[in-house]
Amino acid sequence: MRSSKLKKTLSRLYVQVLIGIVAGILVGHFYPNIGADLKPLGDLFIKLIRMLLAPIIFASVVVGIARMNDLHEAGRVGVKAVLYFEVASTIALVVGLFVVNMIRPGSGMNIDPAHIDSSAIASYAHVAHEHTALGFLMSIVPNSIVGAFANGEILPIIFFSVLFAISLAKLGPRTAPLVDMLDMFLQGMFGVVRIVMYVAPVGAFGGMAFTIAKYGLGTLASFGQLMLCLYLTSIFFVVVVLGIVMRLCGLSLWKYLRYIRDEILITLGTASTEAVLPQMLIKMENLGCSRPVVGMVLPTGYTFNADGTAIYLTMAAMFVAQAMNIHLTLLDQLVVLGVLLLTSKGSAGVAGAGFVALAATLASMHKIPVSGLVLLLGVDRFLNEARAVTNLIGNGVATIVVARWEGAMDVNRARAVLNRDLDFSVVDTSQEKLESIGISLPVGEPATGARNR
């Protein structure tokens, strides 16, 4: 009896990922030479997921918009999503700015900008030079849609997908066979995702082992105050801000976090939200959010709704200023806030996205030397885990908010899933089973539970 219970526990993905993370920390700390060579394990897992992102995002957006009742509905969902993204990001920026001013983690470091070797951040500074508002707008339109798919450029893919979906919607019912085919293709891609997720614990193990082996636990001690600041602020934002948002939606934040615990642990181990996007698309739909809303809001949120990155950017900018004894007035800090509202958008898919946005902000300010980013290089990988997890949780909440706002969410179904009254790992999610516990599906809408086995 006990052995069967242990076997069942070990078969759960989040337990396997947690074991992989702990094992990676131990190997990286005690056997750093081995740990440093394990980076390809984490990279391989993320490559496997990135391989699937372009077709999944394309099919999700196209099927979602094409199956909406009218184009006005699609436009309404998009506007509501953007409004929520802006409000949430602004709150995250303000929270980060307030906390970093209260704790002042960079004070006392007394760094002389003249003695900093900025060669390590030259590549980030070069990309940041092109990270302007006009450059961002130009990057939305791809030179070639084939190139955008080949390079996995999320924003251009979303842009093309929206245009293609609108054209299909305008053509009317005759496009239904193509939309159905794309839907079947999407389900096939989700099947590939389920296969890839078997190696998630290995990816988390490799990523964590490399991080600890390369940067060492000593790095954590050196910048411990900044790390503690960011992690506690991220926790505060999730528990208080997102907790209030979930309560307004009539759902429990804690039960939602339990529902996506696999994705949270994988993100923690790989420091990448991309690694769990396909799974999140499935889970948000199974939670009761309509497919059109999920298909539009979740992928777009990866670019426009980076709450964790927003917190990190304000804290990192102020940390560098404090470390260099650069006094910023309230007006200066408000300018930083305003610039970050622009530079924090659209950086998803760019290598070192947080660093690029931060470098662009400092370069436009002319108050804080861009060379100060060197201070963050050693600890950035550890900070990235906090912002990635916060981004993940925030985008799921954003999808719930827009779905509730749009009236496109089955709240009874969501509560049943979160309360574990409805187990989507069980095949029996027929119409009769759902209705027996008070859950109704729209006419013609198939039960989707079997997909999440």
Among all chains, which residue has been given the structure tokens 């993320």? 46
Name the residue among 383, 398, 178, 204 with its Cα closest to residue 302: 398
Residue 111 phi, psi (nearest 5): -80, 130
In order, the DSSP letters of 184-226 are HHHHHHHHHHHHHGGGHHHHHHHHHHHHHHHHHHHHHHHTHHH
Name the residue among 264, 280, 294, 281 with its Cα closest to residue 400: 294
CA angle 131, 355, 300 (to 5 degrees): 65
Is-above-0.75 flag for pTM? Answer: no
Q: Which secondary structure element, helix H or strand E, spans residue 70, and what is its range?
A: none
Residue 110: its pLDDT value, please?
67
Which residues, in sequence order, are bridge partners of residue 167? none
Question: Top-level CATH class of 13-421?
Answer: mainly alpha
Q: Are 28 and 195 in contact (CB under 8 A)?
A: no
- The single-letter code of the amino acid at 264 is I
Neighbouring C-beta atoms of residue 171, cutoff 10 Å: 12
Name the residue among 148, 163, 168 with its Cα closest to residue 53: 148
Buried b (16+ CB within 10 A) or exposed e, 192-220: ebeebbebbbbbbbbbbbbbbbebeeebe
Segments of the chain scoring below 50 in pLDDT: 117, 120-121, 123-125, 128, 348-351, 425-453
State how far the alpha carbon of 132 is from the alpha carbons of 121, 242, 343, in Å. 18, 30, 7
Give the span between the Cα atoms of 20 and 182, in whole angstroms.
Answer: 35
CA angle 250, 255, 260 (to 5 degrees): 115
Residue 401: its pLDDT value, please?
94
Residue 60: its pLDDT value, please?
80
Residue 237: its pLDDT value, please?
94
Q: Are 222 and 108 in contact (CB under 8 A)?
A: no
Give the span between the Cα atoms of 381 and 352, in whole angstroms.
Answer: 10
